[in-house]
A and B are shown apart, each in its own frame.
Chain A
Amino acid sequence: MPWARAWANLRLGSIRHVIDSDVLERVLGVAVRTGAEFAEVYAEDKRSTSAGLDDGRVEQVTSGRDRGAGIRVVKGDTTGFAHTADLSEAGLVAAAEAAAAAASQGGGVTRTIALTRGPERTVSPVAQYPDDVRKADKVALLLRMDDAARSAGGSIVQVSAGYGDSHKRMLVANTDGVFVTDEQVRTLVRISVVADGDAGMQTGYQSCGHTIGFELFDNVDIEALARDAARQALTKLVARPAPSGALPVVIKQGSGGVLFHEACGHGLEADLVAKGGSVYKGKKGELVASPLVTLVDDGTMSGEWGAIAYDDEGHASQYNVLIQDGVLTDYMWDYLRARKEGRPQSGNGRRQSYQHLPMVRMTNTYVLNGTEEPDDIVRATEYGVYVAKLGGGSVNTASGDFVFGMTEAYLIENGQITEPLREGNLIGNGPEVLRDIDLLGNDFAMGNPGTCGKDGQGVPVGDGQPTLRVKSLTIGGTAA
């Protein structure tokens, strides 16, 4: 009973419910009794701790526990899904019956399921489990960040900081015999700073998160992170309105991965492609980007926010090249879409929790290095915008139009970075922007941890890129 052992090995304290592999086999058997071709059990047990500091006070430490199973049954083109917080055999069987009824009204069939345990696989090794760290040590990080931000200057009027960790054990078993377990640990800090000046308030933000434990803070200087958030807010106190109209835009290393996430990442998700909802449909083998661009989605990138050993359908994570030297090489795939096309999955079937159906999602999406020195890219730009930090973004995958926010940006004049600019959105069209990348740096870096939203579900993702230039992007400022 490998799962029983894995479950018992959890460092989660008291685990009362154990799912044996023979229970899973029986539950899957119930799920396909009405003639379904496929059934799957996804179970998770997650403990999380978060702490928030605001206005100089640790407002609250929160402990959370989420535990349950989602059961998916596929019959023809119909998927039935039910979930339960009751991990006993009776609870699982009830959920399996509900999912089976949802998928079909059909007659009775008996199928025997034999599970084969997949190999143990570790992508992000953990040195210090957050469950083993005293809450006082977690809270102390927030106080240090608050101090560091406030000592950055008298104009800093407000600071809020957050700490969060989670430890999730998950299990996937399906009627194809797949049976894997995985453990996912995440640790994160973030800080928001408000500065007040003659022209009103401005804000700064920094965060750092990895799929590792508390050892994160052996290597990350959280005071420097806090000072950087304060610096952004202070810098913007003297910012001028951003320009309005189309200009060359240079995007700093590690700050613009969201550009690729929005400009083409979502459009390369096979579920959107299949329904004709992507501008990249039917473009495999074609030049869709500047030949400088090689884009990868990589779930195996150790420690990064989107790193996973197995995806949420039990498929091992992979390094997938999506665009090679500007040519579209492949889309990203989950179980359902891959099965339909008769091709392998790519390790991109992910879900927010056991209460959600999996779908095609990115993991860590990044652009490989080019050859330019970053300074030369700025020097080669006579007049334009230098974006040092991007906020969030969103895309309409069917039209390709996307926006993303610039939270720290400067004017470039005569090849020099000059005045800071106020915040605004940039807007562009994915395929056009990919073609308009005309300079690519050699200074690759990953960016901040992100949460990608699709169809109401949020999953953790990473992104990264070297410094690069887009020939022309529309800047949504107010200055003529």
Chain B
Amino acid sequence: MSAELQELADRIVAQARSGEQVEAFVSRDTETDIRVYEGEVEHFVSAQSEGIGIRVIRDGRTGFAYAGTLDPSAIAEVLAEARDNVEFGTRDEWAGLAEPDGVDVVPQELWSERLAAYSTADKIALTKELERLTLAADSRVRIDDANYADVMAENAVASTAGIRRSGRENGCYVSVSTMADDGDETQTGFGFSVGRSPDEFDLSKAAREAADRATRLLGATKPQSKRTTVVFDPYVTAMLLGVVSTTLNGEAVAKGRSLFKDRVGDQVAHPSFTLVDDPTNSLAYTATDLDGEGLAARRNELILDGVLQGFVHNSYSARRVGAKSTGNAVRGGFKGTPGVGCLALQLKPGTRDQAAIVADVEDGVLIQTVQGLHSGVNPISGDFSVGASGLVISNGTVGAPIREFTIASTLQRMLLDVAEVGGDVDWLPMRAAGVSLVIRDVTLSGA
């Protein structure tokens, strides 16, 4: 199947005129999406989408066009539009496509025949089973919905610079959204399980977490404002790392938008903080063999013992700062050109589990959810303020639930105020792995 897409990409690149660089990216996705409510299928979506994006560069000017179809006449139109769009770009001496760099691809198992052969009836059955298990976990719990989704994606990229790669990948997940009631009060929770195939799901764990998340906040109060120590649950840490990664983006650095732009070699974080981006680690759900420009994905050390080592780049941002691509081109599909981003971040784990960590906290909060990462965090200035909920920690013991408060600091200070990284690594379906993380001296705003 991917061979057909590769041929299509090759045919477009073969049409390049002299003086023209051309890149074609072709993709096709098949998705299934099942939602169950009260034991019945609420919706069942079965969908196939395909499309093409073509980039043309001439005399340092770039043009791009896409279409959500692989219809031959539409493709001809896309190439013509991309060529036309070249006229309106500004000449940029660094513009250009990725060149093959000789770095070997680390093969990954991205395709599961078991998932490809999994029957629709079985997918529906396990979604119903997840709903049943969640309801059975706690009598105070109601279900918002239980979901199953899978996607099978294949794509191919080809360019006049000599890139020629194709691949396919599939994966699936189940999730359940819950509500728990106590009188007038309602709290919500969620649970999920991810796998290359449904055999890897742990439905019981997803059900238990969904019930726990909703019930543990019942009776939560609004805390008084104070400075305190926070312990982030692994899921919250993964979200924080996502924000930190935008400051390590080579394009932001090249354009002067990173608060770490001149800080390579500096102590930017606590010595316990070592951060790598390693998409070659097959434990990561976002593990991959190729980046968005078709170069080999690779391991990059970003912060070592708190000292900033460098940034992640695609071929364009690398050229701008006189570096080489780190294999971090990220493509959001056929509708855009590759940007820069981390692929699979991981903090080097410490040695203790969350219970042991909490036992040493005299006064603090175990943060279980955060809200508003997109609205109250500015990765350029570093201002950090998010809504949160969690559990009070006093004298090493986890106690009453609290909600409707914010925690605030700056990204720069939070990294230096890290007190401990936990040993409880949780691989999540995000671009960062989770682990418990202790940060001192954060401002909690409440009543």
**A, B co-complexed:** yes
A interface list, Cβ under 8 A from B: 14, 16, 51, 53-68, 76-86, 98-99, 102-103, 135-136, 139, 157-158, 194, 196, 200-203, 236, 242, 244-246, 275-277, 279, 355, 357, 391-394, 396, 398-399, 401-405, 422-425, 427-429, 474-478
A-B contact pairs, 25 of them (CB 8 A): A59-B62, A62-B65, A65-B68, A65-B78, A67-B68, A76-B40, A77-B37, A80-B44, A83-B48, A83-B49, A85-B71, A200-B381, A201-B257, A201-B259, A275-B145, A393-B375, A398-B187, A399-B185, A399-B186, A401-B371, A401-B387, A401-B403, A403-B387, A405-B372, A405-B385
By a CB distance below 8 angstroms, the chain B residues around A398 are 179, 186-188
Instruction: Tell whether, in the assembled complex, residue B447 and residue A474 are in contact, meaning their CB atoms are under 8 Å apart.
Output: yes
Instruction: Tell whether, in the assembled complex, residue A474 and residue B62 are in contact, meaning their CB atoms are under 8 Å apart.
Output: no
By a CB distance below 8 angstroms, the chain B residues around A84 are 48
Instruction: Tell whether, in the assembled complex, residue B371 and residue A394 are in contact, meaning their CB atoms are under 8 Å apart.
Output: yes
Instruction: Tell whether, in the assembled complex, residue B88 and residue A139 are in contact, meaning their CB atoms are under 8 Å apart.
Output: yes
A contacts with B: majority SS: strand
Instruction: Tell whether, in the assembled complex, residue A58 and residue B90 are in contact, meaning their CB atoms are under 8 Å apart.
Output: yes
B44-88, CB under 8 A of A: which get 1 and which 0?
111111100000000000111111110101100110011011011
Instruction: Tell whether, in the assembled complex, residue A79 and residue B85 are in contact, meaning their CB atoms are under 8 Å apart.
Output: no
Instruction: Tell whether, in the assembled complex, residue A394 and residue B375 are in contact, meaning their CB atoms are under 8 Å apart.
Output: yes
Least distance between B218 CB and chain A CB atoms (Å):
10
Report which of A60, A98, A201 forms a contact with B46, defined as CB distance below 8 A: A98
**Bound-state Cα–Cα, A101 to B371, Å:** 39
**Interface 9-residue window, one of B7-15, B290-298, B405-413:** B405-413
Instruction: Tell whether, in the assembled complex, residue B408 and residue A60 are in contact, meaning their CB atoms are under 8 Å apart.
Output: no
Report which of B71, B90, B385, B447 forms a contact with A424, defined as CB distance below 8 A: B385
Among B179, B222, B372, which residue has the most Cβ atoms of chain A within 10 A? Answer: B372
By a CB distance below 8 angstroms, the chain B residues around A63 are 64-66, 78, 81-82, 84-85
Instruction: Tell whether, in the assembled complex, residue A474 and residue B43 are in contact, meaning their CB atoms are under 8 Å apart.
Output: no
By a CB distance below 8 angstroms, the chain B residues around A139 are 88
By a CB distance below 8 angstroms, the chain A residues around B88 are 51, 58, 61, 135-136, 139
By a CB distance below 8 angstroms, the chain A residues around B44 are 78-81, 102-103
In the complex, the 9 A-B pairs of residues with the closest C-beta atoms, listed nearest first = A476-B406, A425-B376, A405-B375, A403-B372, A424-B385, A403-B387, A102-B44, A57-B90, A61-B85
Instruction: Tell whether, in the assembled complex, residue A478 and residue B376 are in contact, meaning their CB atoms are under 8 Å apart.
Output: no
B142-154, CB under 8 A of A: which get 1 and which 0?
1011000000000
By a CB distance below 8 angstroms, the chain A residues around B84 are 63, 135
By a CB distance below 8 angstroms, the chain B residues around A275 are 37, 144-145
Instruction: Tell whether, in the assembled complex, residue B335 and residue A61 are in contact, meaning their CB atoms are under 8 Å apart.
Output: no
Residue of B nearest to A73 (CB): B44
By a CB distance below 8 angstroms, the chain A residues around B257 are 158, 194, 201
Report which of A68, A403, A429 forms a contact with B68, defined as CB distance below 8 A: A68
Report which of A16, A53, A61, A158 forms a contact with B64, defined as CB distance below 8 A: A61
Among B68, B179, B407, which residue has the most Cβ atoms of chain A within 10 A? Answer: B68
By a CB distance below 8 angstroms, the chain B residues around A200 are 259, 381-382
By a CB distance below 8 angstroms, the chain A residues around B409 are 478
Instruction: Tell whether, in the assembled complex, residue A203 and residue B372 are in contact, meaning their CB atoms are under 8 Å apart.
Output: no
**B135 beta carbon closer than 8 Å to chain A:** no
**B255 beta carbon closer than 8 Å to chain A:** yes
By a CB distance below 8 angstroms, the chain B residues around A86 are 69
**Bound-state Cα–Cα, A80 to B409, Å:** 47
By a CB distance below 8 angstroms, the chain B residues around A77 are 37, 40, 42
